[in-house]
Chains A and B, each alone.
Chain A
Amino acid sequence: MKPLVRVEGIACPLGLSGVDTDQIIPARFMKQPRSKGYGGFLLYDLRHDEAGAERPAFPLNRPPWRQAPILVARRNFGSGSSREAAVYALADHGIRVVLAPTFGDIFASNAVKNGLLPAVLDEDAVEDLLAALQARPDMPVVVDLAQQTVLWNNRAVAFFIDHVAREQLLNGWDDVDVTRSYAAEIGRFRASNTVVRSWSRPDDQPVRT
């Protein structure tokens, strides 16, 4: 996974609250293999009208925000379905950071595993940033993960990210590689568990049908 240390660029003031993962990617697009790219499905039903034409007023359809690597949203971004495809849609569209006051837990976890930073910024700071972006759409914004700060208009505001997630993003660590370094511990747990909690394993039970 590619490390994420600092992202500098345009930020899109999405502004919506409760953007659930059904909005981020509607279910009907999820049959495709990832290799085909999921970027075009991002927020599809909000970005397009019933005929499939772009809604020009939607922030992500407006220059300069079309290419923004940073997205700013209100509370409970990524709630709902556990679909990792929501993160694929954001990442494939070029988004590297989402700033919001709160995130759905599963979404935040999926994001980190794909090198996307879910940065928790307090509600007042989000409101200030949204207002600043409305006033000056091409205002540069810097998200510095090493310093855990967002910078705009000569202002630096601290954001929150779980410190394990932060390390993982900064280093581009892969979970499976880390876990495999604990193979001996897993083996010991498994052996003990098979004896102590034998009832927990269906494959050790005679199946009655």
Chain B
Amino acid sequence: MEATQPTAGKAGAGPRTLFDKLWDDHVVVERPSGDALLWIDRHFVHEGSFHAFAQLAGRDGAVAEPGLTFGVADHYVPTRGRAHVANPEIARMIDDLSANTARHGIELFGLHDPRQGIVHVVGPEQGLTLPGLTMVCGDSHTSTHGAFGAYAFGIGASEVAHVLMTQTLWQRKPRRMRITIDGAPAPGVGAKDFILSIIAKIGADGARGHAVEYAGEAVRALSMAGRMTMCNMSIEAGARCGLIAPDETTFRWLEGRPYAPKDAALEAGLAAWRRLPSDRDAEFDCEIRLDAAAIAPIVTWGTSPEEALPIDASIPDPDAQPDQARAAAMRDALTYMGLKPGQRLSEIAIDRVFIGSCTNARIEDLRAAASVLSGRTALVPGLVSPGSSAVKQQAEEEGLDRIFIAAGLDWVESGCSMCVGMNGDAVPAGERCASTTNRNFRGRQGPGARTHLMSPAMAAAAAIAGRLADVRPMLEGRT
């Protein structure tokens, strides 16, 4: 057998970006039309993947590489009362995932597995997410895994079926964008504020058709959790994927993870991963720079993640917007949100908080929220759903659960929960929620729900104040 580097034909073609290298390493064939068939290293399925399994059954298809696909129960799982799933439709969704994965020999982290959690928290946690991989899942927030220097992106059911049957996908190469964040942020400002600032700046379709690499001093200084938050929300700027070059922070994080390579395989992996960062002279199709020191804690005010402003700002006035279509959209958003132009963001009263989701429910996120809530009481009810069952256990070992409960919040099991409302955890119509999630779309957290996106520390601050609030004064004297 010929064991040539898959990149052999490309490696000498001049300086390449991280994305170029990931792409080149996975091209099976290129068509004259310019699209390429890519090898997929890792694939995740969840309850919502039933459409894809139905397509597979419809064509009598077999799963090509069951060892490269993993199942996780997350979208529909209850966060309470798991011993018996009361809703029969939800029980059926969870059972169907078990049956489909069992039928095709796919490993499943199911409802009662200690490794269960949100797919984009579990993958990294288990060492299934690695630098240099192509990774897909029928979920747009698959971009999360780009934090490790993987080419990771969300796909639809037909593509899920295609990957199951062939372990490949047809893709057109996206353009390359680099977003550099220089300097250091103020205390209380972090990854969520970075990414919301970026989306507000470039728009919810500002990175459409691009693979976005985040770089710069402030990005390098982020923990893996912070890097995952940024890459997670790349899709909210319309990006095909988000990427951060792997470095020692990445490699240290991967050490000893159950599925990560060991021994000789690890040495080979490390050698390959160290070659991944963008070459010094590599060219990007688009470059954007931000100064971390100029970024304040951000909250959203409207029904798109681009409708985001620093907490000390006021609701913008549609009448001042010259673009009539844009002004009309802003008026619609403000009507839905029950807000008025000129209103100060810090005066908006909230009804509840949600701390959870693939964006912000890792142990670091829970610690950030707990450090604000410790010794304080929430004025509104709230739900804290850890990113995985393993994160839940670790948080309980650290006593974070007791801080949340003492503050008056509910501490529940792990799942997508109130980010998407599929499992019944929903914000009631007309209520306003300070949420650590990724989408403030109309009805996302339940029909008529009003969502304000923010960081875990800011959601904790909102819980204590009973309104949107700047976390920075609340952090004085605390670490």
| A and B assemble together | yes
Please report A residues at the B interface, Cβ cutoff 8 Å. Answer: 15-18, 20, 22-23, 26-28, 30-31, 33-34, 45, 50, 74-76, 79-85, 87, 102, 104-106, 109-110, 113-114, 127, 162-164, 167, 175-176, 178-180, 182, 185-186, 188-193, 195-209
Q: Contact mask B38-58 → A, CB, 8 Å, 1/0?
A: 010110000010110010000
Residues of A within 8 A of B268 (CB): 198-199
Q: How far is the CB of B224 from chain A (nearest CB, A)?
A: 19
Q: Are B28 and A202 in contact (CB under 8 A)?
A: no
* Nearest CB on B from A4, distance (A): 16
When the two chains form their complex, are residues A199 and B261 in contact, meaning their CB atoms are under 8 A apart? yes
Q: A80-B439, A82-B155 are in contact. Are A191 and B1 (CB under 8 A)?
A: yes
Say whether A182 contacts B262, CB under 8 Å: no
Taking A164-B34, A202-B259, A206-B262 as contacts, is the C-beta distance between A176 and B272 under 8 angstroms? no
- Neighbouring A residues of B374 by C-beta, 8 Å: none
Q: Which residues does chain B contribute within 8 Å of A84, judged by CB atoms?
A: 51, 138, 156-158
Decide if A196 touches B4 in the complex (CB within 8 Å): yes
Q: Is the CB of B166 within 8 A of A180?
A: yes
With CB as the reference atom, state the residue of chain A lying closest to B273: A199
| Across-interface contacts of A27 in B (CB, < 8 A) | 420-422, 444
Decide: B168 and A186 in contact? CB cutoff 8 A: yes
B118 at the binding interface (Cβ < 8 Å): no
CA distance A185 to B265 in the complex (A): 25
When A45-B443, A186-B167 are in contact, do A179 and B3 touch as well, CB less than 8 Å?
no
- Whether B204 contacts A18 by the Cβ 8 Å rule is yes
Contacts of B266 in A (CB 8 A): 199
Given A23-B443, A164-B31, 9 more contacts at CB 8 Å? Answer: A18-B304, A84-B156, A104-B208, A110-B156, A113-B156, A192-B4, A199-B269, A201-B68, A205-B262
Q: Which of B10-18, B125-133, B188-196, B346-354 contacts A (4 or more CB under 8 A)?
A: B125-133
CB distance from A29 to the nearest CB of B (A): 10
Docked Cα-Cα span, A200 to B67, in Å, equals 11
In whole angstroms, what is the CA distance A110 to B89 when docked? 26
Q: How far is the CB of A26 from chain B (nearest CB, A)?
A: 6
Per-position contact with A for B126-145: 1 when CB-CB < 8 Å, else 0? 01101011000011100000
Taking a contact as CB atoms under 8 Å apart, the answer to whether B156 and A82 are in contact is yes
B39 touching A201, Cβ below 8 Å: no
* Docked-complex contact A81 and B158, CB < 8 angstroms: no
| Shortest distance from the beta carbon of B40 to any chain A beta carbon, whole Å | 11
Q: Nearest chain-B residue to A205 (Cβ)?
A: B261
A22/B439 in contact, CB under 8 A: yes
Of B54, B209, B235, B448, chain A has the most CB atoms within 10 Å of the CB of B235
Closest to B239 in A: A105
* CB-based contact B37/A182 at 8 Å: yes
Task: Judge whether A17 and B167 touch: CB under 8 Å.
Answer: no
For the complex of A and B, the 8 pairs showing the least CB-CB separation, nearest first, are A203-B67, A199-B269, A110-B156, A84-B156, A82-B154, A113-B158, A84-B157, A199-B261
B258 touches A76 (CB 8 A): no
Q: CA–CA, A113 to B127, complex, Å?
A: 32
Q: Which of B31, B54, B162, B205 has the most CB of A within 10 A?
A: B205
Q: Is the CB of A205 within 8 A of B259?
A: yes
Partner of B205, one of A102, A205, A209: A102
> Do B441 and A80 have beta carbons less than 8 Å apart?
yes
Contact A106 B155 (CB under 8 A): yes
Q: Could you pull out 19 A-B pairs where Cβ atoms are within 8 angstroms?
A: A16-B329, A45-B442, A82-B139, A82-B155, A84-B156, A102-B205, A106-B156, A163-B34, A164-B33, A176-B165, A176-B166, A179-B168, A179-B170, A182-B29, A186-B37, A196-B4, A202-B67, A204-B265, A205-B262
Which B residues are closer than 8 A to A by beta carbons?
1-6, 25, 28-29, 31, 33-35, 37, 39, 41-42, 48, 50-51, 54, 59, 61, 67-68, 76, 89-90, 92-93, 127-128, 130, 132-133, 138-140, 153-159, 161-162, 165-168, 170, 172, 204-205, 208-209, 235-236, 238, 240, 256, 258-262, 265-266, 268-269, 272, 303-304, 325-326, 329, 420-422, 429, 439, 441-444, 447-448
CA distance A75 to B206 in the complex (A): 11
Q: Identify the closest chain A residue to B270 (Cβ).
A: A199
B133 near A179: Cβ-Cβ < 8 Å: no
Contact B238 A189 (CB under 8 A): no
Asked if B51 and A85 sit within 8 Å, CB to CB, the answer is yes
Closest chain-A Cβ to B54's Cβ sits at a distance in Å of 7
| A127 CB, nearest partner CB in chain B, Å | 8
B139: A residues at CB distance < 8 A = 81-82
| Contact assessment for B37 and A83 in the assembled complex, using a CB-CB cutoff below 8 Å | no
* Separation of A45 and B445 alpha carbons in the complex (Å): 13
Report the Cα distance A171→B33, complex, angstroms. Answer: 15
Residues from chain A with Cβ under 8 Å of B439 in the complex: 20, 22, 80-81
